[in-house]
C-alpha cells in the first residue's frame, strides 16, 4: 500500500500504526488557505512599493541607509509571519484508519498537539459550509465529537467537508459492524 497521499509522505507515520491497522483517509486543509497566503504576500509587495515611492516625502527625516535597514527588517518579519502561517496550515491533518482517528494540529510555531481516539469513542461527525466562498470552493469545517469532553477534533478549511464527513461516518460504521461480526473470546 502506498503511503504517499496527496503529496503527503506518511512513511514516518506508518511506524505508529498497529500491525493490522489500515489507512482510510488523510484529511488536510483545502488549497484556499494558500490563496490567503498569496493575498498576504501581495499586501507585502504593494506596501513595500508604496513605502519606497513615498519615502522621500513622508519619511524625509529618515536617511536612505536607515530606511533600507527598516525595509529589510519589515520584509524579514513579514516573511517570517508568512512562513509560520504556512507551517500552521500545512501541518494540520486528520489521519483516519480502520481503528482510530488521529488529529495532528499545529497550534503555533513549534507548538503541536496530537490527539487520538478510537473509532468507538466517536459520537458525532459534523460538516459545515457557510457563506458563498465555502460553498463555491467546496471547503468548510469537519468536526468529530467524542465521548470525552477534551478530545473533540475540528478541522477548519477542510476540503469537501460533506463528502469527507460521510467517508468518516462510513469508516466508523464499518468498524462497528466488524466488531459485531467478530465475537470476542
CATH of the domain at 125: 2.30.29
User: Among residues 154, 148, 150, which one has the least CA distance to residue 126?
Assistant: 154
Same domain, 142 and 118: yes
153 in a structural domain: yes
Residues 172 and 155 in one domain: yes
Residues 47 and 107 in one domain: no
Angstrom CA distances, 71 to 52, 77, 83, 158, 173, stand at 9, 10, 18, 36, 56
26 neighbors 93 (Cβ within 8 angstroms): yes
Is residue 108 in some structural domain? Answer: yes
Q: List the domain range (segments joined by +) for residue 61.
A: 35-87
Count of domains for the chain: 2
In a domain, 13, yes or no: no
Per-position DSSP letters for 114-148, written without gaps between them = EEEEEGGGEEEEEEE--SHHHHHHTEEEEEEEESS
| Whether residues 107 and 70 fall in one domain | no
- 76 and 98, same structural domain? no
Identify whether 11 is part of a domain. no
pLDDT band at 14, cuts 50/70/90?
low
CA distance 91 to 112: 9
Q: Are residues 71 and 98 in the same domain?
A: no
Rg (CA), the chain: 22
pLDDT at 7 over 60: no
Higher pLDDT, 29 or 64: 29
Q: Which three cell numbers stand for residue 3?
A: 503511503
Asked if 39 and 99 sit in the same domain, the reply is no
* pLDDT tens-digit readout, 81-120: 999 999 999 889 999 998 889 888 888 888 888 888 888 8
Q: What is the pLDDT of residues 50-70, one digit of tens each?
A: 988 887 777 777 777 888 898
Amino acid at each position: 500500500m502506498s503511503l504517499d497521499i496527496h503529496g503527503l509522505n506518511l512513511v514516518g507515520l506508518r511506524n505508529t500504526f498497529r500491525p493490522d491497522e489500515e489507512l482510510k483517509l488523510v484529511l488536510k486543509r483545502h488549497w484556499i488557505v494558500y490563496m490567503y497566503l498569496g493575498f498576504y504576500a501581495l499586501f507585502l509587495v504593494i506596501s513595500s512599493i508604496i513605502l519606497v515611492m513615498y519615502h522621500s516625502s513622508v519619511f524625509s527625516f529618515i536617511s536612505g541607509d536607515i530606511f533600507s535597514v527598516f525595509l529589510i527588517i519589515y520584509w524579514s518579519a513579514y516573511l517570517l509571519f508568512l512562513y509560520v502561517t504556512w507551517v500552521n496550515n500545512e501541518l494540520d491533518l486528520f489521519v483516519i484508519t480502520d481503528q482510530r482517528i488521529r488529529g495532528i494540529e499545529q497550534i503555533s510555531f513549534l507548538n503541536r498537539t496530537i490527539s487520538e481516539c478510537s473509532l468507538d469513542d466517536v459520537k458525532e461527525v459534523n460538516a459545515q459550509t457557510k457563506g458563498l466562498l465555502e460553498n463555491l470552493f467546496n471547503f468548510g469545517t469537519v468536526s468529530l465529537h467524542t465521548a470525552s469532553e477534551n478530545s473533540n477534533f475540528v478541522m477548519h478549511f477542510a476540503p469537501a467537508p460533506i463528502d469527507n464527513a460521510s467517508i468518516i461516518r462510513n469508516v466508523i460504521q464499518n468498524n462497528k459492524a466488524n466488531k459485531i461480526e467478530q465475537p470476542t473470546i
